[in-house]
A and B are shown apart, each in its own frame.
Chain A
């Protein structure tokens, strides 16, 4: 009898347990099974009453360092994290964010290096993710596909380090701090990273509702998983939201890319240089090129940009060679130096040491210099100087006409060389004698080629001042040599970047090229009708704003 009673009690307990277990099992419903990239999704359901909610939304497909298409990224990430797999996008929406992270002020910007001082180094509010050891054991079981310390460490890296963010997570940090990972309702924790997150939980019934907009540049057909308190409960698919650039990994209307590039083309005509810099800034700021997961954003921007700088010199060189206007001993040494720098030094070190954060910063510095130069050129004193000189020309034009009438016209000169010397020799060009220094050209070429390829630009903004100011050559001599330099940068840089696994976004390159070509055609026709001084000043201002934005010297730009 006693045995029968015990058995019935046991059955009753099992029944009660099963009943409770059924009622505690979390239930989930999604507002949609497919959402457009950047659109919000609402997840409703119930969890065990009294518990905190840990809702994880992440990619179904995990990323391993060995999946990196970029050689440098693969090497770096494999060295740091081995073969650990994590979802590139990973959000924990929770009612207890303090168990996983805590808000704090952290130093960001240039925290090391020659610019590690205010305002380049600044303090921002970040959501500091706790180390694995400090997370309660019961919470560790609620984190979906993340089950080990190694995975958690990798996630911290991809959400707190700029290299990790720009290489894997890709989502821009809100407020200049860390990328979103541990979030909660904004009214519960009024911090920048919680903006747009809605979370309600009735602890008595366990009913919850979560609304979040996942990363806006998720690729079309990306499958996302939803975990509720550790259990995989549902999933949804991300649908495209406009045109998706497959390698640039960003949504953008190609027409906007074209129009922007058209404007750059027109500006290029007015400025006569720095087209590569403008295109780079355009790709970063307006188009928002991100690059594939596993490739740092900068390593997609640089080859795309270099490809666009290749076109302008490619056959100009042929014409100059045909006209015998090449000071070939100089051009060869300069181009060889640049080729060496652009192939062996620039991309190699740029991919490693110039990821997006540093790339933007130094690009900003370059923009500042060019902005100041443009502004200087638009000053009344500079313009007056130019006008005065033009008056002298007018005066002597009369003399030319007379010279022609009397038949005193001189024959056109050609480039002529004395005995070649690697250090220094005399060279005659269009009737004038110059000192040529091949070794200096070679060394200068190596340095400038490395810098230009590192930034993914042609380098014309460096070559011309070097030729005219440092080497002291006239423009007619300098231009063909500089052109050979731009060509060498593009060829060396592109070849190396492609061999390293960094591919340009060809569709984006096509849109930018088409726009720039259109702008280049229209520019010369409307140039005379445009208010040049005003435009130069506006451009200078735009470049200085780019400098401020990229170096983040103003708090509201961070």
Chain B
């Protein structure tokens, strides 16, 4: 066991940590320094990083073929549900029909659980991982101690007095808001484009 821990410590201390440190330095040089050079305010920097992370998530979503996989599951689900409906119609006895529906529900649940696990993995890779990794990096770039030295507050946007029970916005709050807003905009734009395309196809047919 001791040897395993030694190996894990070695991998972590000599490969993974230096790799992430380099990545962090590289990202700082590429993103933060130019923004500093342009005198962009810290809250806006964090906001822009949220937008960039959302764009990364959007790109990952396409690379991981999430819409296609979801569509495939939807088809399987509909097929099973369809079969269940036909089965239920063929049984006259209410109790037998209920029992059948319950068991076939369970069967579909199993399918659903497996899908959800896969779903979690894909969406985790597209959305959760970029957010947590970006946040881990951002908290190193804008640590609370540095914010306190710079602005006299550990909050990124200090409202001074409490507004609706909120004293201000932390780095995490600004970043997450920017991320979510950007994703909402991206999904909205995507939806609009799809609708427009569908309309154009319809017009073409007519």
A-side interface residues toward B, CB under 8 Å?
69, 242-243, 246-247, 253-256, 265, 268-269, 272, 307-308, 310-312, 314-316, 318-319, 323, 386, 389-390, 392-393, 396-397, 399-400, 403-404, 408-410, 412-413, 430-431, 474-476, 479, 494-495, 498-499, 501, 503-504, 506-507, 509-510, 513-514, 516-518, 520-521, 523-524, 527
Contacts and interface: CB of A to CB of B under 8 A. Distances in A.
Interface string B124-136: 1101110011011
Interface stretch (B4-12, B35-43, B196-204): B4-12
A256 B8 contact: yes
Contacts of B124: 311-312, 513, 516-517, 520
Given A323-B74, A396-B91, A524-B117, 9 more contacts: A242-B9, A255-B8, A272-B109, A312-B123, A389-B99, A393-B103, A397-B83, A412-B82, A521-B117
B187 A253 contact: no
Contacts of A413: 85
Interface of B: 5, 8-9, 11-13, 16-17, 66, 70, 74, 78, 81-83, 85-87, 89-91, 96, 99-110, 112-114, 116-121, 123-125, 127-129, 132-133, 135-136, 139, 144, 154, 165-166, 170, 172-173, 176, 187
Given A255-B12, A255-B16, A510-B129, A312 B119 contact: yes
Contacts of B8: 253, 255-256
Given A256-B8, A501-B170, A521 B90 contact: no
Tell me if B's interface is mostly helix, strand, loop or mixed: helix
Question: Majority SS of interface residues in chain A?
Answer: helix
A403 B85 CA distance: 11
Given A310-B128, A399-B87, A520 B117 contact: yes
Contacts of A272: 109-110, 113, 116
A510 B86 contact: no
Contacts of A404: 86
Contact of B86 (A408, A495, A513): A408
B139 A506 contact: yes
Given A268-B117, A516-B124, A254 B12 contact: yes
A318 B187 contact: yes
B100 to A, nearest CB: 6
B82 to A, nearest CB: 6
A41 to B, nearest CB: 22
Nearest to A512: B132
Most buried by A among B74, B114, B120, B132: B120
Given A399-B87, A410-B82, A255 B102 contact: no
A400 B104 CA distance: 13
Contacts of A517: 120-121, 124-125, 128-129
B9 A393 contact: no
B109 A521 contact: no
A525 to B, nearest CB: 9
A393 B87 contact: yes
Given A311-B128, A315-B123, A399-B86, A253 B9 contact: yes
Which 7 residue pairs spanning A and B have beta carbons closest together?
Answer: A389-B103, A506-B136, A272-B113, A311-B128, A520-B121, A517-B124, A506-B135
Contacts of A430: 81, 85
B107 A390 contact: yes
Contacts of B12: 242-243, 253-255
Contacts of A498: 170, 172-173, 176
Nearest to A266: B117
B90 A396 contact: yes
B58 to A, nearest CB: 12
A479 B132 CA distance: 27
A186 to B, nearest CB: 26
A474 B105 contact: yes
A243 B17 contact: yes
Task: Indicate the member of B9, B113, B117 with the most A CB atoms within 10 Å.
Answer: B117
A311 B120 CA distance: 7
Contact of A516 (B74, B109, B120): B120
Nearest to A392: B100
A172 B183 CA distance: 43
Nearest to B74: A323
Given A255-B11, A255-B16, A410-B82, A510 B132 contact: yes
A123 to B, nearest CB: 35
Contacts of A389: 99-100, 102-103, 106
A487 B120 CA distance: 13
A412 B118 contact: no
Instruction: Indicate the member of B89, B114, B187 with the most A CB atoms within 10 Å.
Output: B114
Contacts of A506: 132-133, 135-136, 139
A479 B9 CA distance: 42
A518 B124 CA distance: 10
Contact of A476 (B96, B108, B128, B172): B108
Contact of A308 (B13, B89, B128, B139): B128
Contacts of B17: 243, 254
> Counting chain B CB atoms within 10 Å of each CB, which of A243, A396, A409, A498 scores highest?
A396
Contacts of B119: 312, 316
A475 B120 contact: no
A513 B129 contact: yes
